[in-house]
Amino acid sequence: MNRLYYTSHSPINAYFSKNSRDFVVEEIPLYEFSGNGEHLILKIRKKDMTTWELVQKISERVGCKVKDIGYAGLKDKDGVTTQYISVYKKYENKIKNIQSQNIKILETFYHNNKIRIGHLKGNKFYIRFKKVSLVDAKKIENAVGIIEQNGLPNYFGYQRFGLDGNNYKIGKEILFGKKFIKSRKKRDFFISAYQSHIFNLWLSKRVEISKLFASFSLKELELLFIYPKEMIANIKNQPIFFKMFLGDILHHYPYGKVFECLEINSEIQRFEKRELTITGALPGKKIIRANDMAGIIEKDFIAECESVINKMNGSRRFAWIFPEILTQAYKKEEAWYEISFFLPKGSYATVLVEEILHTKKL
């Protein structure tokens, strides 16, 4: 699908490739490791391999079961990535067998618990754009400044949908009984892609609505929307680009609980301070649904899967995030533009890159 950009600049001419020189990821753990316990934590740097491939190699070389290996999240195959893996302490003497040209153990720790999916704060990224002219370097700097000030729509990246982008279609066919896949793991994978697709469609619509409120006058907005005049003025005057509606399901940022927006004026101030954010639905049974005006918009996107919604485990996902830009620099001699930044867990660096460059060719 074509995700709608919220920034308004023209496409930027720069070359970006996810390789070991120009794309580096470092996982930030959720907590400090205790220093004792039955689990051995490995801080591993891998190159040009998926987390699944890494886990499989660890299983083969130390002789443990794949299910006994813990990790917090799946990392990109391309580039250099550092992440934390847990195995039982009894395999410590065999850990040296893991080392290879593409796998290096940087540190080890002991801990009480196995690392589980989601046990991370987020990830630090380093990216390098190449073939960047002085004019385009300035455009990149301006785009990064806008994102740093206003935040970023938290779309699922293209990786979620497969090389041909059709994983979500398979998920939909499974849900509606038009396709059968024996492996539960594969079924869940394709169904999650379908949920991600629904989320992206909804988020793109919310970005579109926010762009309209940013671009048009009150009189023009009154012709576009059937909302009461006071509500239109309230939404128009919100200081954050991504507009909040009554009934939105909010979430303390970056951690905390979800709750419904019952009064916009106080919540929008907390949104501006980055104390909370708006969430979108990954459709499924027992999800907390948006209400009021936000619920009307959300319902339109959940409608197509309403008849099979009990076949999915749904959740809420941050719709809007606030990347932390750590460093950025233009190297004129090499025509490089380098950026390092932090994103909360579950967010995609490629989405930020696409928002900067306004290109899907990654």
Kindly list the catalytic residues: 76
- Tell me how far the alpha carbon of residue 322 is from its chain's centroid: 11
**Ramachandran region of residue 256, left (φ > 0), alpha (ψ -120 to 50) or beta?**
left
Give the burial class of 280: count Cβ atoms within 10 A of its Cβ; 0-12 exposed, 13-18 middle, 19 or more buried: buried
Q: What is the torsional sign of CA 302, 308, 309, 312? A: negative
- Tell me how far the alpha carbon of residue 172 is from its chain's centroid: 22
**Tokens at 89, concatenated:** 């302490």
Q: 3-state class of 302 per DSSP?
A: helix
Q: Which of 300, 270, 266 is nearest to 283 (CA)?
A: 300
Residue pair 242/320 in contact by the 8 Å Cβ criterion: yes
Q: What are the residues facing 43 on neighbouring strands? A: 84, 107
Secondary structure element (H or E) that encloses residue 68, with its range: none
Distance, in Å, from the CA atom of 39 to the CA atom of 85, rounded to the nearest integer, reads 10
Strands (E), the chain: 23-29, 39-47, 70-71, 80-88, 103-111, 120-129, 152-153, 249-252, 258-260, 276-282, 315-318, 320-321, 324-331, 336-344
Report H helices in 26-112.
51-62
**Tokens at 244, concatenated:** 């909040």
Secondary structure element (H or E) that encloses residue 94, with its range: none
Distance, in Å, from the CA atom of 76 to the CA atom of 74, rounded to the nearest integer, reads 7
